[in-house]
Amino acid sequence: MVLWLDGFDWLPGNTGDVATTDLQLKYSTALAGSIQVGTGRDAGKSLRMVAIPAGIFRTFDSVDELVIAFAFMHSDALGSGRIMSLNDNTLGRQCRLDLNDSEQLLLYRGNGTELLDTSTTQLVEDVWYYLELRYLVHATAGSYELRINGNTEFSDSGINTRGVASDVLDLFVLADDCNRTVQFDDFNIVDGSGFLGDSYVRDIFPESDGDDSEWTPDSGTDHFARIDETPHDGDTSHLEGALADRDLFNLPAQNIGGQIHGVQLNAIAKRVSGSNLKLKQVVKSDGVFGGGDSDQDVSSTSYDHFFRITEDDPATSATWQPGTFNSAQFGIEGG
């Protein structure tokens, strides 16, 4: 099961620009002024941290095992520190992945409680690497495996992998304590079902209105044009909807050469009036709807980020295929 996806292509501005406006709707941040837009590993954009303790973090659905994966690049010849950690949001850090002065990766249990392993591969600066860490947290039957560019770098099992007194993983942190400039791209988290392999995450914005246009645009008649801004511009461009109102949108066709592991729908919304308001993030494929039961409470009068992940085409109940994805419509509905 896919727990989180982000390709960072949605970041506003150009390479070197500070990337805080919309970033702080999706993530909590540390030293936000030192988080920038970077150049992606395959065109597009990446997330770039240029100083300690710049970093991002976010909670997710609790699991005891997961695979966290991302494309990673660093620069600056000297410096070391933490590039990623997995936490129990209540009790603290379960593990951390560091980069040392010799450009090797070090996996620690807890916040440096015990060094579990060290990579032999050195990550040369200014080169993209795809890192995948599977981590099962347990006091006696824990395990881990780190892959670099699809190859197993180190692993172990039947050990204590707890950093705190729980088997909970529900918070990730990227960077926040590394003495190098670091960049992240194509970020994903899945449960313990297995490695996805080197994967790309694409951020796609609506390009036209779909079959339903029941929300009210603040201006004009093209609904998609009121929600395709980056950065998000607050009340300047928006749609307003009520119970059962539904808007669907067409996306630009994508050239997809491999398997689609998941589709994450993202929305930024707030409550204007009333109470007990909900948002559904829906899909229509070959006339079949999905996501009608995806109610999420919209309780704040300030903008919040909402997301839903779908791994299967509702028309087939099977994995998304490139053709059916390109012909599907995605949207929002008042619940």
Tell me the CATH number at 28.
2.60.120.200
Instruction: Give yes or no: residues 182 and 214 share one domain.
Output: no
Is residue 178 assigned to a domain?
yes
Q: Does residue 181 fall inside a structural domain?
A: yes
| Domain shared by 25 and 132, yes or no | yes
SS (H, E, C) the chain: CEEEEECCCCCCCCCCCECCCCHHHHCEEECHHHEEEEECECECEEEEECCCCCEEEEEEEEECEEEEEEEEEEECCCCCEEEEEEEECCCEEEEEEEECCCCCEEEEECCCCEEEEECCCCCCCCCCEEEEEEEECCCCCEEEEEEECCEEEEEEEEECCCCCCCCCEEEEEEEEEECCEEEEEEEEEEECCCCCCCCCCCCCCCCEEEEEECCEECCCCCCHHHCCCCCCCHHHCCEECCCCCEEEEECCCCCCCCCCCCEEEEEEECCCCCCCCEEEEEEEECCEEECCCCCEECCCCCCEEEEEEECEECCCCEECCHHHHHHCEEEEEEC
Query: Looking at the structure, do residues 28 and 169 belong to the same domain, yes or no?
Result: yes
- At residue 70, the pLDDT reads 98
Same domain, residue pair 245 and 150? no
The pTM of this model reads: 0.95
CA 13 to chain centre: 19
**pLDDT of 7-52, one tens digit each?**
999 998 899 998 876 788 899 998 888 899 999 999 899 999 987 7
List, for the chain, all residue ranges whose pLDDT scores fall below the cut of 50. Answer: none
Say whether both 252 and 152 belong to one domain.
no
List pLDDT tens digits, range 207-245. Answer: 999 999 999 999 999 999 999 988 888 899 999 999 999
For residue 85, the model assigns a pLDDT of 97
Residues 24 and 144 in one domain: yes
Give the pLDDT of residue 31: 83
Q: What is the pLDDT of residue 32?
A: 81
Number of domains present in the structure of the chain:
2
Domain identity same for 251 and 285:
yes
Q: Are residues 224 and 302 in the same domain?
A: yes
Co-location of 184 and 213 in the same domain? no
Domain with 184 in it = 2-191
pLDDT of the residue at 77: 66
Same domain, 186 and 273: no
Q: How far apart are the first and last CA of the chain?
A: 25
Residue 197 lies in a domain: no
